[in-house]
A and B are shown apart, each in its own frame.
Chain A
């Protein structure tokens, strides 16, 4: 049995301390889960261990022998392998080439393919996996790619295997297969560190669970016999929620109704109504189908079946253009790739949805264009160096406000927010919440999706809980605590 131990590890970034005096140990023969909210320091700790960061304070030990690697390649060769969330496979190469990338068997200057394929086959056999080693990776499923990633890591006979959100792209049945594989690896005296956002998984796969909160290590629990509440109280501590303003209330009038919405396997049997002035939250873990549902409502993706009614009228053939004209706005999850045109100016970005309103249908009225831009900069308090600067000159929070401002320029009736607070600082977050409440005061309705469930409790009038693509419950945010909401979203005990 071997043990990986961090001793008083502190990692500073300019302006913040990401890890404070962290001392944790991880044992082989077990699946050691590492959890914490976004920004709690999980990834930083992993990068300290696998050599991506080498300028930290404190020390690292494997079986009481100190180590500190200068970069991930060195750590990998020394037996610390990391499987990242993003796939790093080369689609045009074969399974064997990907597993042994850059470490092929040579025969003089030529690659000895027979030996290389055999090596890859040995790695897979050792893991108890059947995969055709000569197959091109582009022809394989996501789950098989994830297995190859792990095989790549295992091919170096690692002492430590770090798995960063390995199930985030997998379906339920594939997750089961992955767990079976991990359990087999654990028997090989490998120290497995498992990072996950999907808390409900931990009871299935993890033996122990160590928790980070705000860069500090707060404790480790044995998963056997542990309750959701135990883990949640470690993760969140005693969280004080801010009060939602009393004048943010929903009226009786239904503005949007979604009926029998289906898009297998992302979401099934979705039925709900949105009321005027309401802030409706959709809670759920990653992969519950929230983003897919929002995109389908906005017309960005086609559902298999179902209907949308706006103000009681059915919408036929929804598309983003049509939904915009019906007064629906969509603030997407990925601001950089989906919300903004980064190379264009703040002014043009703020007008991308309102081109019809600043023109006579053909020619743009330059004065209106400037007015529309200035109105949002002023109303939303967007901090800009100048209207003509590119989006890249703004901070995350201000970029998010530009996305919101772009939509407020069309005077929408409904605004759909997908992870509105992702990657922005606390102040900007509060300002975004204020904007959502202001919209409600003016009779606009919002749908908000967030992985930070405590945010939903803070901002929403009503929360629907989504799990594995279905709506499973509906709650009043005033009636329950953060821990209860997490427990409901995870399901189970």
Chain B
């Protein structure tokens, strides 16, 4: 009798440890860093981690929806650049007309940047659904197009026509402590969490990603769902561009290079399946923190930039392998 109970408990522990593998690994890494890395476990440093991950993290949450829906968007890196360039350039041009101050012009500029993001997403979605071109290819092409457009608009130079208050969006702190970008990250998390868990759109995204034909024959508007998720991720990417330009007070076509990989890595580390239908906003939050903690730890240890690439790449590979194994074992248990 007791033996059976013990085995049950052992089974449950192994089940739980499988289910929460990434959380456990993250905790272990954090504990190791607390013990070994000088200055890791200070409030200032912890908050810094959140500030640093915010720019890619905001997009990661939206990308979670896209990947669960069975699509991908590789163009988000250049969308950051385009949005930053649009915001600063439009602000400068509007202010130059003399009709309004830079302080108010930047609002219109941000709105335009977000609208352009929505249009890019709509275009990606249209290409995907109308011509049945894989989003992997369509958005890879867009990645180049958008960089080019950003460079054309900015003529290849950083544009710095931005009002002073704007810096608050990317570098401000509440109570002189909590970084404002952490708030954007929290909002993005809550937004995606609510969509995926509480709304019909969320249910539809899971169904479409899990089996598009079955979803279509269940009377779900598959094309609409795909277009919506591709639009949301672009709007989020545009917003990330705003945060980044506010942080450095300029807009440049060199922004966001390679960020799409950081964005996607956090999603995959968080347990979302690249084949669609499986994933959670919570997992992505873990993935984002994981990436942030690793980067931060390396900085504290004085690891060089070149070495960081190697470590980060290998860690992503390891995490993805773990996740794949975990998904497979979970599916076996369920069957």
CB pair A320 B207 closer than 8 Å: no
Q: Which residues in window 162-208 of B have CB below 8 A to A?
A: 198-204, 206-207
CB pair A341 B217 closer than 8 Å: no
In the assembled complex, B152 has its CB within 8 A of some CB on chain A? no
In the assembled complex, A70 has its CB within 8 A of some CB on chain B? no
Q: How far is the CA of A384 from the CA of B122 in the complex (A)?
A: 41
CB pair A343 B210 closer than 8 Å: yes
Q: How far is the CA of A202 from the CA of B202 in the complex (A)?
A: 52
In the assembled complex, A390 has its CB within 8 A of some CB on chain B? yes
| Chain A 113-134 near chain B by CB (<8 Å), digits 1 or 0 | 0000000000000000000000
In the assembled complex, A142 has its CB within 8 A of some CB on chain B? no
Q: Taking the nearest CB of chain A, how far is it from the CB of B259, in angstroms?
A: 30
Closest A residue by C-beta to B204: A355
In the assembled complex, B101 has its CB within 8 A of some CB on chain A? no
CB pair A344 B207 closer than 8 Å: yes
CB pair B218 A353 closer than 8 Å: yes
Closest B residue by C-beta to A323: B219
Number of interface residues of B (CB under 8 A): 25
Q: A343-B210, A352-B215 are in contact. Are A392 and B334 (CB under 8 A)?
A: yes
CB pair A393 B335 closer than 8 Å: yes
Closest A residue by C-beta to B211: A341
- Chain A residue contacts of B220, Cβ below 8 A: 321, 352-353, 355
Q: How far is the CA of A389 from the CA of B216 in the complex (A)?
A: 22
CB pair A339 B216 closer than 8 Å: no
- Chain A residue contacts of B331, Cβ below 8 A: 343, 390, 392
Q: How far is the CA of A16 from the CA of B104 in the complex (A)?
A: 79
CB pair A344 B217 closer than 8 Å: no
CB pair B199 A337 closer than 8 Å: no
In the assembled complex, A356 has its CB within 8 A of some CB on chain B? yes
Size band of the A side of the interface?
35 or more
Q: Which residues in window 322-354 of A have CB below 8 A to B?
A: 323-325, 330, 332, 337-344, 348, 351-353
* Segment of A17-25, A191-199, A360-368 in the binding face: A360-368
In the assembled complex, A380 has its CB within 8 A of some CB on chain B? no
Q: Taking the nearest CB of chain A, how far is it from the CB of B60, in angstroms?
A: 22
Q: How far is the CA of A355 from the CA of B199 in the complex (A)?
A: 9
Closest A residue by C-beta to B210: A341
| Chain A 297-335 near chain B by CB (<8 Å), digits 1 or 0 | 010100000000000000000001101110000101000
In the assembled complex, A30 has its CB within 8 A of some CB on chain B? no
Closest A residue by C-beta to B198: A363
Q: How far is the CA of A324 from the CA of B218 in the complex (A)?
A: 8
In the assembled complex, A359 has its CB within 8 A of some CB on chain B? yes
- Chain B residue contacts of A352, Cβ below 8 A: 203, 207, 214-215, 218, 220
In the assembled complex, A213 has its CB within 8 A of some CB on chain B? no
Closest B residue by C-beta to A322: B219
Q: Taking the nearest CB of chain A, how far is it from the CB of B15, in angstroms?
A: 14
| Chain B 214-240 near chain A by CB (<8 Å), digits 1 or 0 | 111111110000000000000000000
In the assembled complex, B277 has its CB within 8 A of some CB on chain A? yes
CB pair A342 B200 closer than 8 Å: no
In the assembled complex, A467 has its CB within 8 A of some CB on chain B? no
Closest B residue by C-beta to A355: B200
In the assembled complex, A406 has its CB within 8 A of some CB on chain B? yes
Question: B210, B214, B334: which has the most chain A beta carbons within 10 Å?
Answer: B214
Q: How far is the CA of A176 from the CA of B206 in the complex (A)?
A: 46
CB pair B216 A348 closer than 8 Å: no
Q: A321-B220, A337-B213, A338-B217 are in contact. Are A390 and B334 (CB under 8 A)?
A: yes
Q: How far is the CA of A338 from the CA of B214 in the complex (A)?
A: 4
In the assembled complex, B278 has its CB within 8 A of some CB on chain A? yes
Q: A341-B210, A393-B335 are in contact. Are A356 and B200 (CB under 8 A)?
A: yes
- Chain A residue contacts of B219, Cβ below 8 A: 320-321, 323-325, 353, 410
CB pair B277 A321 closer than 8 Å: no
Question: B203, B220, B335: which has the most chain A beta carbons within 10 Å?
Answer: B203
CB pair A300 B217 closer than 8 Å: yes
CB pair A364 B200 closer than 8 Å: yes
Closest A residue by C-beta to B220: A352
Closest A residue by C-beta to B221: A321
CB pair B335 A392 closer than 8 Å: yes
CB pair B203 A351 closer than 8 Å: yes
CB pair A389 B217 closer than 8 Å: no
Q: A355-B204, A355-B220, A359-B199 are in contact. Are A341 and B335 (CB under 8 A)?
A: no
Q: How far is the CA of A390 from the CA of B204 in the complex (A)?
A: 16
CB pair B207 A348 closer than 8 Å: yes
Q: How far is the CA of A410 from the CA of B218 in the complex (A)?
A: 11
CB pair B204 A339 closer than 8 Å: no
- Chain B residue contacts of A356, Cβ below 8 A: 200
Q: In the complex, which of the residues B214, B221, B334 contacts A339, with contact meaning CB atoms closer than 8 Å?
A: B214
Q: Taking the nearest CB of chain B, how far is it from the CB of A384, in angstroms?
A: 13
- Chain A residue contacts of B201, Cβ below 8 A: 362
Q: Taking the nearest CB of chain A, how far is it from the CB of B208, in angstroms?
A: 9
CB pair A393 B199 closer than 8 Å: no
Q: How far is the CA of A298 from the CA of B211 in the complex (A)?
A: 19
Q: Taking the nearest CB of chain B, how far is it from the CB of A323, in angstroms?
A: 7
CB pair A342 B210 closer than 8 Å: yes
- Chain A residue contacts of B203, Cβ below 8 A: 348, 351-352, 355, 364
- Chain A residue contacts of B335, Cβ below 8 A: 390, 392-393
Q: How far is the CA of A358 from the CA of B199 in the complex (A)?
A: 10
Q: Taking the nearest CB of chain B, how far is it from the CB of A402, in angstroms?
A: 11
Q: How far is the CA of A392 from the CA of B214 in the complex (A)?
A: 15
- Chain A residue contacts of B334, Cβ below 8 A: 389-390, 392-393
| Chain B 300-335 near chain A by CB (<8 Å), digits 1 or 0 | 000000000000000000000000000000010011
Q: In the complex, which of the residues A324, A338, A344, A364 contacts B210, with contact meaning CB atoms closer than 8 Å?
A: A344
Q: Taking the nearest CB of chain B, how far is it from the CB of A344, in angstroms?
A: 5
Closest A residue by C-beta to B218: A352
- Chain B residue contacts of A340, Cβ below 8 A: 211, 214
Q: Taking the nearest CB of chain B, how far is it from the CB of A37, in angstroms?
A: 28
Q: Which residues in window 28-54 of A have CB below 8 A to B?
A: none
Q: How far is the CA of A389 from the CA of B210 in the complex (A)?
A: 15
Q: Which residues in window 45-95 of B have CB below 8 A to A?
A: none
Q: Taking the nearest CB of chain B, how far is it from the CB of A176, in angstroms?
A: 33
Closest B residue by C-beta to A299: B219
CB pair B200 A362 closer than 8 Å: yes
CB pair B206 A359 closer than 8 Å: no
| Chain A 275-301 near chain B by CB (<8 Å), digits 1 or 0 | 000000000000000000000001010
Q: How far is the CA of A31 from the CA of B218 in the complex (A)?
A: 44
Q: Taking the nearest CB of chain A, how far is it from the CB of B72, in angstroms?
A: 18
Q: A355-B200, A364-B200 are in contact. Are A320 and B217 (CB under 8 A)?
A: yes
Q: How far is the CA of A330 from the CA of B331 in the complex (A)?
A: 29
Q: B-contacting residues of A (Cβ < 8 Å)?
A: 298, 300, 320-321, 323-325, 330, 332, 337-344, 348, 351-353, 355-356, 358-359, 361-364, 389-390, 392-393, 406, 410
25 contacts between A and B (CB under 8 A): A300-B216, A300-B217, A320-B218, A324-B218, A330-B217, A337-B214, A339-B217, A340-B211, A341-B207, A341-B210, A341-B211, A341-B277, A342-B210, A344-B207, A348-B207, A352-B207, A352-B214, A353-B219, A355-B204, A362-B199, A362-B200, A390-B334, A390-B335, A392-B331, A392-B335
Question: Which 10 A-B pairs give the minimum distances between C-beta atoms?
Answer: A324-B219, A341-B210, A352-B218, A355-B200, A341-B211, A359-B200, A353-B218, A320-B219, A390-B334, A343-B277
Instruction: With A324-B219, A341-B211 given, name 6 new contacts (CB 8 A).
Output: A330-B217, A337-B214, A341-B206, A351-B203, A353-B218, A355-B204
